[in-house]
Chain A
């Protein structure tokens, strides 16, 4: 029982970390970044490179975030910027970019599955259950990341300007806010967070050129359901991620794999606003 509760919590935490970057880009730019999967992959390989360089496994996380940030900035300038007015085309172009990145990674690192050392090993006893320490730390990490992003959005000038752009872009521009710069910053941060997320999940799985793809559709669905709100995203990952864990355990893993996408589709059909609270 305890193990199951912990499974729900840690799964939700992983999903939250993975979705965060996608949500920031969607929330501000109304653009669905299908290269998100590729940025997760980039994060995984950044962790691999960091390990090969002999960096401390903890340092792999900020390193991956930085790599994603820089690449994201480049991508925004070259590809995403011309597509602000064409959101459907932006989905396609970022998907194409994902293909390109996947092939480049394959050419550079090979197709084989590789492993990255975990920053912490072992298990701990929680209320009678033995549980992976790293997974528990992910819950803490998700909480901290969520708080950090919330603080960035509600406590800084950058956040104020960003929220102005989310609410009414043309008005914000009329007030002298450079919305292009806001978008640039948001896309870069979103890509950086995606890459960080990729590095954070690799110790639990492995690294391969398509490692991000299985996460993509689920993350997309969770973001569609939660709109631009961080609290809604936390709620959505807990509810839908929790349902996934329970259905996988008690019904069948196949149904579990479908839980998030099917539930999200049903929720969005019944309530186009999804779980958005505000």
Chain B
């Protein structure tokens, strides 16, 4: 008789256990706080904890997602004025309090979404978000200044009736909210969905070419963090009973960024501790040494930005590793689970079609009248001398905003003026010329980001396995990436980065794959391996591959069809034998113009 195998235990998650313990300990400390601290300190801590909540939102936006915002103060101010205005003009009652809270959250969320919509439209420069978040607090404070007796103008509002609870209760409320939010944010950010934010910070373009609507994600994040900041502002107004336009101002907005930078961006706990510590010390010191204290904060801030961008948290971590307690955590990677292909019904007769595609830069026509159709199971190589327009053509296929004229159909869907994510939705995958990957993520995380379009990632869980379609799993296994799943991408060799990008593209389960010089800079064995994988995929999965390549031997070995581009036009379109034997091709590459004219 065989013993039944013991049920496989859920993998232990030591980091989660540690975080939960820390959370419990913090809650206990918050509970005990009012009994061991003097009233003055408790008073200061309540404000500091509410500031810490705003700092948390700035950390999620800036530290994790790479959106530097100076305007989070505006949302704090909106929340504070929602409370102050409601309590002043309507009087305090539980109903009004709820109404004001909901109103404040809604107003901040809407303004946040509006700011996001302005800042993250396709083609808007990345610095624009910093521009618009500078404008926002200025607009809000000017509106508050001009509000006359309604907003109290420059002196603000004070002395309104507010929630009548003890100072201990306020402390528990602020401390509990801050600790809970930090813990929840920690869980969300390390979850599979949370890694998407880091992917956006590391390489937003790649995310879009993995079919992720980064603009929508960032707009949602902006609205959510605005709402959270508004709640903190609401509580601030309720507790202090004094509000002034400065709460929404640009200077306070930069102050929050300073806390986050000093505490350690991208760590959650760093900014929270940074905000609390700086606020408490300020309260004690600024009375006696106001200018010197601000001078010290300013000088330390400059020093940290220049010399230690990771802030205090990074220094503590380095110290931890230096004393030998911490170690680089590169445990075994997750197990790979092969998912069956989604199978989109019978294959259409046409995988990709271009009709009269053109691209002009001013008066310069880089592409003119390019038309061809590619069937599933074809491996088409685009060749041509430098400047023939090969890479431009790839761009025009993968991004609807790039063409000047003509039409592109992917899997039968006409691509309008849609951004890359739309082309990906129609079944396109694009690999760039130089490896375009996420340096700050691990190999497994990168592949999960590539799967996000197919399988909505969990907002609170990290998956223990890595689910990949067969083609991507094959690339991972054949190149040895499966041994490196837990390693950060930045540590990979050039060849492995190229392989990873190919695996990420295949993880999309595309029907059409664009490859721009996939073998550039690879060794001969790596080149052969990629060639074999590609031809197998084309044969077994009826994939349509369009390849730009300079290595004509490689092209000859793997292609089923070749298109020669010359001066932005299709010069020749035929089988490998036809093209290789052609006089025309020889003359184009040898640069004999009269031979071309005769052809």
Q: Footprint of B on A, CB under 8 Å?
A: 79, 82-83, 86, 88-89, 91-93, 95-100, 102-104, 106-107, 213, 217, 220-221, 224, 252, 254, 257-258, 261-262, 264-265, 268-269, 272
Contacts and interface: CB of A to CB of B under 8 A. Distances in A.
Q: Is the interface of B mostly helix, strand, loop or mixed?
A: helix
Given A254-B142, A272-B124, A272-B128, A93 B297 contact: no
Interface in B285-308: 291-292, 294-295, 297-299, 301-302, 305-307
A93 B291 contact: no
A109 to B, nearest CB: 11
A268 B131 contact: yes
- B128, B131, B297 pick with most chain A CB within 10 angstroms: B131
B292 A107 contact: yes
A114 to B, nearest CB: 17
A36 B132 CA distance: 19
- A93, A99, A102 pick with most chain B CB within 10 angstroms: A99
B258 to A, nearest CB: 7
B123 A95 contact: no
Contact of A103 (B127, B134, B138, B294): B294
Interface residues of B, number: 38
B160 interface: no
A107 B291 contact: yes
Nearest to B297: A99
B298 A99 contact: yes
Contacts of A107: 291-292, 295
Contacts of B135: 217, 221, 261-262, 264-265
Given A92-B261, A254-B142, A254-B145, A224 B305 contact: no
A272 B306 CA distance: 29
A107 B145 CA distance: 30
A100 B302 contact: yes
A99 B251 CA distance: 10
Contacts of B127: 224
B295 A93 contact: no
B139 A79 contact: no
A96 B134 contact: no
Contact of B306 (A93, A102, A265): A93
A83 B298 contact: no
- A83, A92, A98, A254 pick with most chain B CB within 10 angstroms: A92
Given A96-B301, A96-B302, A269 B128 contact: yes
21 contacts: A82-B307, A83-B305, A92-B68, A96-B298, A96-B299, A96-B302, A98-B298, A99-B295, A100-B299, A100-B302, A217-B134, A217-B135, A217-B250, A221-B135, A257-B142, A258-B142, A262-B135, A265-B135, A268-B125, A269-B124, A269-B128
B146 interface: yes
Given A99-B298, A103-B295, A264-B135, 11 more contacts: A83-B306, A89-B309, A92-B301, A93-B302, A96-B299, A103-B291, A107-B291, A224-B127, A254-B146, A272-B124, A272-B125
B61 to A, nearest CB: 12
A268 B302 contact: no
B130 interface: yes
A89 B134 CA distance: 16
B127 to A, nearest CB: 7
Interface in B232-289: 250-251, 254, 257-258, 261
B365 interface: no
A269 B118 contact: yes
A173 B46 CA distance: 54
A265 B132 contact: yes
A79 B306 contact: yes
A32 to B, nearest CB: 8
Contact of A265 (B125, B131, B258): B131
A252 B257 CA distance: 32
B291 A106 contact: yes
A191 to B, nearest CB: 16
A91 B261 CA distance: 13
A110 to B, nearest CB: 10
A250 to B, nearest CB: 16
A206 to B, nearest CB: 19
A96 B139 CA distance: 23
Contacts of A261: 134-135, 138-139
A89 B128 contact: no
B176 to A, nearest CB: 31
- B123, B125, B305 pick with most chain A CB within 10 angstroms: B305
Nearest to A34: B254
Nearest to A93: B305
A82 B309 CA distance: 12
A77 to B, nearest CB: 12
A93 B307 CA distance: 10
Nearest to A82: B306
Given A95-B254, A96-B301, A262-B139, A88 B295 contact: no
B138 A258 contact: yes
Given A254-B145, A254-B146, A269-B124, A91 B130 contact: yes
A97 B304 CA distance: 12
A104 B291 CA distance: 8
Given A96-B301, A224-B131, A272-B123, A91 B292 contact: no
Contacts of B138: 217, 258, 261
Nearest to A274: B125
B298 to A, nearest CB: 3
Contact of A220 (B132, B134, B299, B302): B134
A99 B118 contact: no
Contacts of A268: 125, 128, 131
A92 B298 contact: no
